[in-house]
Amino acid sequence: MHQTLSVIIICKNEGHDIDACLASVAWADEIIVLDSGSQDETLSIAKKYTSNIHSNTDWQGFGVQKNRVLALATGDWVLSIDADERVSVTQRLEIQQAIKKNKQTVFNMPRSSSYCGQFIRHSGWWPDRVTRLFKRGTAKFSDDEVHERLVFAGKAAQLNAPLTHITYKDLDEMLTKMNQYSTLGATNAKKNGKHGSLIGAAAHGFWAFIRTYFLRLGFLDGAIGFILAVSIAETTYYRYIKLYFLK
């Protein structure tokens, strides 16, 4: 029996990424896009690949938005990807084979991420397994505002072909996302009853650099590895400083 696949994507102002993303999953049985108020060409590009486009501007976080688009899926299986991610031909074949066998219900996969034009092989960014493929009805997303995760029973099976992640194309994008994610992280931490302090912010930021650059061998990624470690440390520091100001 043929097993159908729904690809779900949430987006906002992703005109620079959405074309390559959707082209990489054009083979799927169903593509569902949930937009949260794009003001660029995102929607006009998406219409080239699917008519199943929806809008919900009541933003309550990444987890809530992904559950909203998940509720619209009708396929036997669901693949969740972000606008800055791409599915290779090799990964497509592996996904199709996993669905055809229909023996497991949830799969994770490695993710190969680029930073300012360089693919990172250390720094805690590889293999960076993410759980994205699952049989519909067996999983849902946590309601976290940022860094949402897939919630399911049991253990995920593993795929081998990596998902390609084109993140932080330059320092301007990195700084913009640093501000966005540190704010969302602070808000989420406050909801979970956490508190921030000046000393705590400095300590967490310093430890984030040590962990990324030394313990996770970020120095092997060269100059970009150092820049990445500093940006992770800064994001961590600002998250805790923002949490401090939220008290």
Distance from C-alpha of 73 to C-alpha of 40, rounded to nearest angstrom = 25
Contact 107, 99 (CB under 8 A): no
**Interval 9-40: pLDDT, tens:** 999 999 999 999 999 999 999 999 999 999 99
**Interval 186-198: pLDDT, tens:** 999 999 999 999 9
**Interval 126-160: pLDDT, tens:** 999 999 999 999 999 999 988 999 999 999 999 99
Domains recognised in the chain with CATH numbers? 5-167 (3.90.550.10), 171-245 (no CATH)
Average pLDDT over residues 174-187: 95
Order of strands, edge to edge, in the sheet holding 106-109? 53-55, 30-35, 5-11, 77-80, 130-135, 106-109, 157-158
Beta bridge partners of 7: 31, 79
Instruction: Using alpha carbons, select from 93, 233, 104 the residue that is nearest to residue 156.
Output: 104
Average pLDDT over residues 157-168: 97
pLDDT score of 183 more than 90 = yes
pLDDT score of 62 more than 90 = yes
Instruction: Using alpha carbons, select from 3, 72, 66, 85 the residue that is nearest to residue 31.
Output: 72
pLDDT score of 1 more than 90 = no
Q: Label residue 247 by pLDDT band (50, 70, 90).
A: confident
State the pLDDT at residue 93.
98
